[in-house]
A and B are shown apart, each in its own frame.
Chain A
Amino acid sequence: MALSRMASGGYSPEPLFRLPQLSLRNLALLVAATLAIGLLASLLRMSWGHAIDPTQQLRGLEQLATAARLDAALDQSFESARLALDAEPAELPDLVQRIDATRQGLQDSFTRSGVDASVSVPLRNYINAARDKTAATTELKRSLGTFVTAFKAMQQQGDSTLAALQSADDAPLRRPVMALVSAATSYGIQSVPGNGADIDQLLATIDAASSRDHAVLSKLTAAVRTMRSAKDSLQRQLAAFRAMPTASSLQQLRNASLDYSRNEELRRERGRTMLGVYTAALFVAFGALALWLRKSFSDLDRANANLQQANEGLEQGIAERTRDLSEALDNLRMQQAQLIQSEKMASLGQMVAGVAHEINTPLGYAQSNVQTVREVLSGMEEPDAGKRESLDEAGMLLADAEHGMERISELVLTLKDFSRVDRSRTEPFNVNEALESALKICNNQLKGRIDVERDYAELPQVPCAPSELNQVFLNLMTNAAQAIEGPGLLKISTCAVDNRVEVRIRDNGCGMDPDVQAHIFEPFFTTKPIGQGTGLGLSIVFRIIENHQGQIKVQSTPGEGTEFLISLPAVPKRAASPAGSTMEQAGS
């Protein structure tokens, strides 16, 4: 019951996922997932995290170029100032300011884009160099001023000297002075003067020529010499100034910056490649996972379906089993009932045998005595009229007594038939014939009232005691006739089934309820009024059928009728020489 209800309630799906149990496997999966995500994050960071802003980079490069330009311009400014004999380069303050601004900008942009040591070191070098160089401009400016002053003074002195040498005696001096002035001028102008020796020689010439004290001349030579030393000093300073490592450090910074960005780009490139590969791997992994999931889901579905099927099978199996079991139980009950019945009958048989003896003994002498008395009475000669009458009466009474005793002995015989003790002989017999003879005997019970419908099949012979079989059929037919009130139908059919003979005797009489059915084979069970039924009929039938290794079953519905089914084992085919034919032959 409970089972079928559960099954009919349908299949309630188990949750596919339960709360994760921290098994080793789950733990491993968790770690793997964390690692995968971490790797992805680091790869992403690697690809995009240090993004170098190209405009920033361009600005940096521009600033670097500006700085280089400014640096060159600074160098140039002093050169041109020297050539222009300016005491100070006109653009210098502006240049210095711009250089400072550029330096600051470089520092800012590089610091902001977060560079590593490969860039920051050259940057610091450049900044230091640039600061040193701008600082050096002051010194250089002064040297330039000194030179310009000395140069102008030297030119003035030359002009004045020449003017002073207008005299004829001074004529020989005029040429060297002129040569000296021009040599000194070119010395001052040339960036790398090669005429120092000329100047020295001219000076020596002039000094020799003006051995007499020539104040003008000495002034000139002094001016020349001052200019020359100023120029040399300026030249030296300029060389030092130019040699300051701004340009190279700028170049280094540029290279470093470029290298840095190239490396950075490379790194990012590598990161992207790795990310791509990793992504592809992840995709593959996800695909595999998806496939696996799909497969496991379909497995799960299949398993579910199987389970459901198995459930149904189980249910069916249980139903079948239950049916089998209840059938077996029924069989067992029936067998038990039959066993009880058999035992009852066996003990009854023993009792009957004893009772038969106990009855037969008194019956024996009683009957014998009655016979004797009758003989005695009939032997009496010529009684007178009065005695005659009473003798007749006595004869009648004795006949009644005899009749009663006959009845008793018949009853005992019936009882004995019913018991096992006096089993009678068996011979092959045709059941259809037995049915016919039984019908003949109970004809007066059926006659006119009950229609008999026969349905006989061709039958193998049944080993039996014909008189017993007759008794069986007679009892069943009598019962049927008694069950039918008024007109009715008695249907008798036979058939052969697997070496057995089956007889059905069916009536449309009153039928029986299950309570009655349960007891009908018990001896002395009857529903009929006293005098009409002894209740032995069916118990004798049962005993006889049992003795013949047969079976008897009853099916009955109250108000509709009853069918008795008798099944008897048939004779194995080979031994079938009918005794009846021999007797007929003999009797003729």
Chain B
Amino acid sequence: MNIANPISKPRVLFVDDEPRVLVALKVIFRDHYDVQTATSGAAAIEALQAQTFDVVVSDQRMPGMTGIEVLRSAKQLQPKSMRILLTGYSDLNATVDAINEGEVFRFVTKPWSNDKLRATLASAVEAATTDVPPEAAAPIEALPDAQLREGSQSAVGVLVLDPDAETRTALKNTLGRERPVYCAASLDEGLGLLASHRIGVIVAELMLEGEDLSLALGALRLHDPSLVAIVLTSQADAQRAITLINQSQVYRLLRKPVSDPLLRGTVNLASQRFTTLSKHPELVRRNETEMPAEPAARTASIGMLARIKRLLLR
């Protein structure tokens, strides 16, 4: 349709069980977008089956179907569309699911600011213009060794960032059979490894020697946009998870303890993603991050970026 009518507006689907929210959003966005609304998950899926959308914005808590379920369906039905969660409810499980299952572009909390939401939607629509190559059905289990060696991702290195030596060793043992694994206990050490090896996937704990990595992961991605970050943490909380979505666009968030097959499958997926991103750099725009809203975090983020640049270019 977009191709048929190049000057037609981008189409956005808003899903919320509260019609007044939909009315408010429609008023804000109708001038610039072709706004469609659905008051339930089922209605949203119907709409998704009928039309293509550039962006799907859904509430989380709805009767019948959660927002994450809606977004997961949207991802399957229309991989090209961008997904945003707009919710007043932000517990840890919801945010983690938003990352792992919804692969959402943004996690926006209610009440929202119209201006910010406009910006968010604009960048989502922008990202949605990039074509998505058909991604191979991702095997969640580990690939057979032979396939791994022949496979294109065989050389993708993994950087493990964890303060705990035992965890590092365990991860190295689990992942080391399939690909090179580099371990670091501090960010600086990790950056050194990043500069000297071909690394496509980072498996990181959130707190590293007192440093919060949730911003650093985003900064790293700004430097090397193909990098795929997996957070493996025992310190997850909802607020951090939201940061990891909006400011770092991490690929997955796993909570310790994690089973070996899940970890290996996730790393396999991540390295596939890295390969895809390396081949199609324009896809990186789909994972564009936003600058932190609070000035302190913004400074920290910029500072982190500067530091990363300095270390990597050394």
In the bound complex, do residue A422 and residue B239 qualify as a contact, i.e. CB atoms below 8 Å apart?
yes
Say whether A578 faces chain B, with CB atoms less than 8 Å apart: yes
Say whether A421 faces chain B, with CB atoms less than 8 Å apart: yes
Given contacts A365-B18, A405-B111, A583-B299, is CB(A424)–CB(B237) below 8 Å? yes
- How many pairs of residues, A versus B, come closer than 8 Å at their CB atoms? 123
In angstroms, Cα B110 to Cα A356, docked, is 10
Interface residues of A in 399-448 (CB under 8 A from B): 405, 409, 421-428
In the bound complex, do residue A582 and residue B111 qualify as a contact, i.e. CB atoms below 8 Å apart?
no
In the bound complex, do residue B61 and residue A365 qualify as a contact, i.e. CB atoms below 8 Å apart?
no
A359's nearest neighbour on chain B, judged by CB, is B88
Given contacts A421-B91, A427-B210, is CB(A365)–CB(B23) below 8 Å? yes
* B25 CB, nearest partner CB in chain A, Å: 7
In angstroms, Cα B239 to Cα A288, docked, is 94
Residues on A with beta carbons closer than 8 Å to the beta carbon of B163: 575
Select the stretch in A95-103, A166-174, A369-377 that faces chain B.
A369-377
In the bound complex, do residue B300 and residue A583 qualify as a contact, i.e. CB atoms below 8 Å apart?
yes
* A271 CB, nearest partner CB in chain B, Å: 104
A375's nearest neighbour on chain B, judged by CB, is B114
Say whether A267 faces chain B, with CB atoms less than 8 Å apart: no
Say whether B304 faces chain A, with CB atoms less than 8 Å apart: yes
In the bound complex, do residue A579 and residue B24 qualify as a contact, i.e. CB atoms below 8 Å apart?
no
Q: Which of B89, B111, B240 has the most CB of A within 10 A?
A: B111
Say whether A586 faces chain B, with CB atoms less than 8 Å apart: yes
Residues on A with beta carbons closer than 8 Å to the beta carbon of B88: 356-361, 363-364
* B65 CB, nearest partner CB in chain A, Å: 16
Say whether A362 faces chain B, with CB atoms less than 8 Å apart: yes
A366's nearest neighbour on chain B, judged by CB, is B111
In the bound complex, do residue B27 and residue A425 qualify as a contact, i.e. CB atoms below 8 Å apart?
no
Say whether A23 faces chain B, with CB atoms less than 8 Å apart: no
Interface residues of B in 148-206 (CB under 8 A from A): 163, 186, 206
Residues on A with beta carbons closer than 8 Å to the beta carbon of B138: none
In the bound complex, do residue B109 and residue A360 qualify as a contact, i.e. CB atoms below 8 Å apart?
yes
A-B contact pairs, 12 of them (CB 8 A): A360-B109, A362-B20, A368-B24, A368-B117, A371-B115, A372-B114, A422-B237, A423-B239, A425-B239, A426-B235, A463-B210, A586-B304
* A471 CB, nearest partner CB in chain B, Å: 14
Say whether B261 faces chain A, with CB atoms less than 8 Å apart: no
Say whether B113 faces chain A, with CB atoms less than 8 Å apart: yes
B93's nearest neighbour on chain A, judged by CB, is A421
Residues on A with beta carbons closer than 8 Å to the beta carbon of B86: 364
Say whether A367 faces chain B, with CB atoms less than 8 Å apart: yes
In angstroms, Cα B89 to Cα A422, docked, is 10
Contact partner of B303 among A353, A463, A583, CB < 8 A? Answer: A583
* B32 CB, nearest partner CB in chain A, Å: 13
Given contacts A575-B163, A579-B212, A586-B306, is CB(A421)–CB(B18) below 8 Å? no
List chain A positions with a Cβ less than 8 A from chain B: 353-354, 356-369, 371-372, 375, 405, 409, 421-428, 463, 571, 575-579, 582-583, 585-587
Chain B: interface size category: 35 or more
In the bound complex, do residue A586 and residue B89 qualify as a contact, i.e. CB atoms below 8 Å apart?
no
Interface residues of B in 47-99 (CB under 8 A from A): 59, 61, 86-92
A360's nearest neighbour on chain B, judged by CB, is B88
Say whether B132 faces chain A, with CB atoms less than 8 Å apart: no
* A56 CB, nearest partner CB in chain B, Å: 122
In the bound complex, do residue B302 and residue A577 qualify as a contact, i.e. CB atoms below 8 Å apart?
no
A467's nearest neighbour on chain B, judged by CB, is B296
In angstroms, Cα B304 to Cα A354, docked, is 36
1/0 contact string of B293-314 vs chain A (CB within 8 Å): 0000001101110110000000
Residues on A with beta carbons closer than 8 Å to the beta carbon of B61: 357
In the bound complex, do residue A586 and residue B214 qualify as a contact, i.e. CB atoms below 8 Å apart?
no
Say whether B28 faces chain A, with CB atoms less than 8 Å apart: yes
Contact partner of B237 among A354, A375, A423, CB < 8 A? Answer: A423
In the bound complex, do residue B238 and residue A427 qualify as a contact, i.e. CB atoms below 8 Å apart?
no
A428's nearest neighbour on chain B, judged by CB, is B210
Residues on A with beta carbons closer than 8 Å to the beta carbon of B27: 369, 372
In the bound complex, do residue A357 and residue B211 qualify as a contact, i.e. CB atoms below 8 Å apart?
no
Q: Which of B61, B117, B209 has the most CB of A within 10 A?
A: B209
In angstroms, Cα B109 to Cα A151, docked, is 191
In the bound complex, do residue B302 and residue A360 qualify as a contact, i.e. CB atoms below 8 Å apart?
no
Residues on A with beta carbons closer than 8 Å to the beta carbon of B307: 582, 585-586
> Which 9 A-B residue pairs are closest in the complex by CB-CB distance?
A586-B303, A360-B88, A364-B110, A357-B89, A360-B110, A365-B24, A423-B237, A364-B111, A357-B88
A358's nearest neighbour on chain B, judged by CB, is B88
* B124 CB, nearest partner CB in chain A, Å: 18
* A224 CB, nearest partner CB in chain B, Å: 172
Residues on B with beta carbons closer than 8 Å to the beta carbon of A425: 206-207, 212, 214, 235, 237, 239-240
Contact partner of B239 among A363, A366, A424, A587, CB < 8 A? Answer: A424
Given contacts A422-B239, A577-B211, A586-B300, is CB(A368)–CB(B92) below 8 Å? no
Interface residues of B in 4-29 (CB under 8 A from A): 16, 18, 20-21, 23-25, 27-28
In the bound complex, do residue B212 and residue A361 qualify as a contact, i.e. CB atoms below 8 Å apart?
no
Residues on B with beta carbons closer than 8 Å to the beta carbon of A405: 111
Given A575-B209, A582-B211, 15 other A-B contacts at CB below 8 A?
A: A354-B89, A360-B109, A363-B110, A368-B112, A368-B117, A369-B27, A371-B113, A372-B27, A421-B238, A424-B239, A425-B206, A426-B235, A571-B210, A578-B210, A579-B211
